[in-house]
A and B are shown apart, each in its own frame.
Chain A
Amino acid sequence: AQTVTQSQPEMSVQEAETVTLSCTYDTSENNYYLFWYKQPPSRQMILVIRQEAYKQQNATENRFSVNFQKAAKSFSLKISDSQLGDTAMYFCAFMSFNRNTGKLIFGQGTTLQVKP
């Protein structure tokens, strides 16, 4: 069974600095998708970034980028130039390509506090 682990329950960063959130996963499959979702306090969960496992190039979205290490089964999220609006809970998630069920398996989440 696939599992996703986020080992940092809480993190903080000063505004304008860079922070990296860790995520590891376990799977025996070769084709899958990985996601980072952001859930601001009392607000809707939104997609931050998506990575296809067959792509070697790391995904980037503006200030957000990932370090995808397939052999190590690691998928960390780097937030550059942190802003107060980045304060949120961040979830790492895994989806199998082969099973085609749409089942997302989430990690426990990391609460990020951006300090002014």
Chain B
Amino acid sequence: ETGVTQTPRHLVMGMTNKKSLKCEQHLGHNAMYWYKQSAKKPLELMFVYNFKEQTENNSVPSRFSPECPNSSHLFLHLHTLQPEDSALYLCASSQESRDTQYFGPGTRLTVL
């Protein structure tokens, strides 16, 4: 695998479920990001990790819980989501925080 990969590509979950999104980067980067892309809204940054430390939380509700066990992996744990959380969730990585970000294909999440 090359670049930034995300699994699963599609996810349907009920409001009471718990699920996790996974992101892996094969680029040797030190910074990783979660973005939310909703219909008719600009991409919104959710979280930033630099060298495994969270450096940005863009006022994201606690039902979204990120985890970065190492510089190559990033997870987004989901619980008690709402239908309005349905969106495309994109992961990205960059060498350092000021460098160009490379995006994964995204996970299309539907909350019923």
CB 8 Å contact bits of A45-78 with B (1 = contact, 0 = none): 1110010000000000000000000000000000
- Chain B minimum-CB-distance residue to A50: B100
| Size of B's binding interface in residues, CB under 8 A | 25
| With contact pairs A43-B105, A91-B43, A109-B42 given, residues A102 and B100 touching in the complex (Cβ less than 8 Å) | no
Whether the Cβ atoms of B48 and A103 lie closer than 8 Å is: yes
> What's the dominant secondary structure at chain B's contact region?
loop
A42 to chain B, nearest CB (A): 9
The bracket for how many chain A residues form the interface is: 20 to 34
Q: How many A-B residue pairs have CB under 8 A?
A: 55
Within 8 A of A (CB), among B78-96: 90, 94, 96
In the complex, A33→B96 CA distance in Å? 14
In the A-B complex, the 4 residue pairs with the closest CB atoms = A102-B97, A45-B103, A106-B43, A106-B42
Question: Cβ of A28 < 8 Å from any Cβ of B?
Answer: no
| With contact pairs A102-B33, A102-B50 given, residues A47 and B98 touching in the complex (Cβ less than 8 Å) | no
